[in-house]
C-alpha cells in the first residue's frame, strides 16, 4: 500500500470543508458542501459522512489509504470521549460524534474545537512550522485561541484551555459585558465585533472621523480609515492592539511560548495592528521572557481548520 492519507473536516455553521492531507501536513485535495443545519442533526452527520466518501472518490487516493478522519467543530467539545457538548452554530448538542462516524466510516475519528485545530494546523504546516511551543489567537467575530505545548494541543482540566478571548484585560471603568456574561474580556475590544462597536460609538459620540460617512461599518473600513490617517480609527486600532498586547504579555508570563501567531479577519489590518501589539508586548513583558520570542501573522487562512483536523492524528 502506498502513502497514508488523513482527512480533516472543518465543521462550520454554513459549510463543511473537507481536506485530504499527507503526513507532512500538505493539503492535497479539498471538497466543500453545505452544512444544512436547518435540516437537523441527522442531516449534518449524514453530510459529513457523504463529503468524506465523496472527496476520496474524487481524489487519486484509495479508501484503504485513509488512516483517520479528524474534525474541528465550532463549539464546546469533549475531546477525550469524542462528544460535541454544544455547538449552537452547527445545531448539534450532546452528540457522540466520534463513535457515530467511526461506525459509519470504519475509520478512527478524532475531534477537537475549531480554534485548537486551527492552532495545530498553523504549527504543523503554517506560521509555526518547526516551533513546538506556540500560542495562536484567532481574531474573528469573537477571539479564539489555541495553545500548543511541546507540539500538542494543551487541553487543560476540562478541555477548555486556550479560551484567550475571555481573558479579562479591560479595566472596570472601561469594561463592557462579553457574550460569556463576564466583564472586560479581550473579545469585547480585539474582535471584529469589538472594533465595529468602538467605531459606531465614535460616530455616535460625534468624533470627527471619515467613518461617519460609512453606512454599515465593517472592521475593514476601520483599518482602511486608520491607514489613511483617520485619528479616531487609529485610536480604535491602537486600543484593540493594546489589550491584545497586554494579554500576550500575561500569556508569556504563564507559558513562555516561543511564538505568538495571530490570525482571523482582524489580523488583516497588518502592520498598523502588529507594530502596536509588538510595542505593547515589549513594554509589558519582562525582558528574559521576550528573548527569542516573536509575534507573527497566521498564514494558512481558512485552510488551517482542515489541515489541523487532519493533524489530530499525528500529534
Ligand atoms: Zn468573555
Tens-place pLDDT, residues 16-75: 999 999 999 999 999 999 999 999 999 999 999 999 999 999 999 999 999 999 999 988
User: What separation in Å is there between the alpha carbon of 178 and the centre of ligand 1?
Assistant: 5
113: closest CA among 85, 77, 139?
Answer: 77
Mapped onto helix, strand or coil, the DSSP state of residue 131 is coil
Decide which of 196 and 2 is more confident.
196
User: What separation in Å is there between the alpha carbon of 167 and the centre of ligand 1?
Assistant: 7
The position carrying cell 507532512 is 24
User: What separation in Å is there between the alpha carbon of 46 and the centre of ligand 1?
Assistant: 33
User: What separation in Å is there between the alpha carbon of 272 and the centre of ligand 1?
Assistant: 25
User: What separation in Å is there between the alpha carbon of 168 and the centre of ligand 1?
Assistant: 7
Band the pLDDT of 1: cuts 50, 70, 90: low
Average pLDDT of the chain? 95
User: What separation in Å is there between the alpha carbon of 163 and the centre of ligand 1?
Assistant: 9
Residues 6+ apart with CB under 8 A from 146: 115, 116, 117, 118, 119, 120, 135, 136, 138, 153, 162
Q: Give the model's pLDDT for residue 158.
A: 84
In terms of Cβ atoms closer than 10 Å to its own Cβ (0-12, 13-18, 19+), residue 242 is buried
Residue 298: count of CB within 10 angstroms of its CB: 22
What is the average pLDDT across 75-92? 91
User: What separation in Å is there between the alpha carbon of 86 and the centre of ligand 1?
Assistant: 17
DSSP annotation of 268: G
Amino acid at each position: 500500500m502506498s502513502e497514508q492519507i488523513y482527512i480533516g473536516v472543518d465543521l462550520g455553521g454554513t459549510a463543511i470543508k473537507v481536506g485530504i492531507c499527507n503526513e507532512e501536513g500538505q493539503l492535497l485535495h479539498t471538497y466543500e458542501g453545505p452544512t444544512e443545519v436547518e435540516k437537523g442533526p441527522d442531516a449534518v452527520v449524514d453530510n459529513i459522512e457523504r463529503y468524506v466518501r465523496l472527496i476520496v472518490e474524487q481524489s487519486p487516493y484509495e479508501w484503504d489509504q485513509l488512516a483517520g478522519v479528524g474534525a474541528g467543530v465550532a463549539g464546546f467539545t469533549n475531546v477525550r470521549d469524542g462528544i460535541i457538548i454544544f455547538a449552537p452554530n452547527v445545531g448539534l448538542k450532546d452528540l457522540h460524534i466520534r463513535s457515530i462516524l467511526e461506525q459509519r466510516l470504519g475509520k478512527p475519528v478524532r475531534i477537537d474545537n475549531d480554534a485548537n485545530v486551527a492552532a495545530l494546523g498553523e504549527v504543523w504546516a503554517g506560521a509555526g512550522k518547526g516551533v513546538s511551543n506556540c500560542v495562536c489567537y484567532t481574531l474573528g467575530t469573537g477571539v479564539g485561541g489555541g495553545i500548543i505545548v511541546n507540539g500538542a494541543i494543551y487541553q487543560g482540566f476540562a478541555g477548555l484551555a486556550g479560551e484567550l478571548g475571555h481573558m479579562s484585560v479591560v479595566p472596570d471603568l472601561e469594561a463592557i459585558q462579553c457574550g460569556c456574561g463576564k466583564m472586560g474580556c479581550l473579545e469585547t475590544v480585539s474582535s471584529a465585533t469589538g472594533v465595529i462597536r468602538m467605531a459606531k460609538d465614535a460616530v455616535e459620540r460625534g468624533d470627527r472621523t471619515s467613518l461617519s460617512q460609512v453606512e454599515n461599518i465593517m472592521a475593514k473600513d476601520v483599518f482602511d480609515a486608520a491607514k489613511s490617517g483617520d485619528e479616531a480609527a487609529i485610536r480604535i486600532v491602537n486600543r484593540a492592539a493594546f489589550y491584545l498586547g497586554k494579554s500576550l504579555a500575561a500569556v508569556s508570563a504563564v507559558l513562555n511560548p516561543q511564538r505568538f501567531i495571530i490570525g482571523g479577519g482582524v489580523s488583516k489590518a497588518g502592520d498598523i495592528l502588529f507594530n502596536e501589539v509588538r510595542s505593547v508586548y515589549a513594554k509589558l513583558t519582562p525582558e528574559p521572557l521576550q528573548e527569542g520570542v516573536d509575534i507573527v501573522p497566521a498564514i494558512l487562512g481558512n485552510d488551517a481548520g482542515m489541515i489541523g483536523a487532519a493533524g489530530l492524528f499525528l500529534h
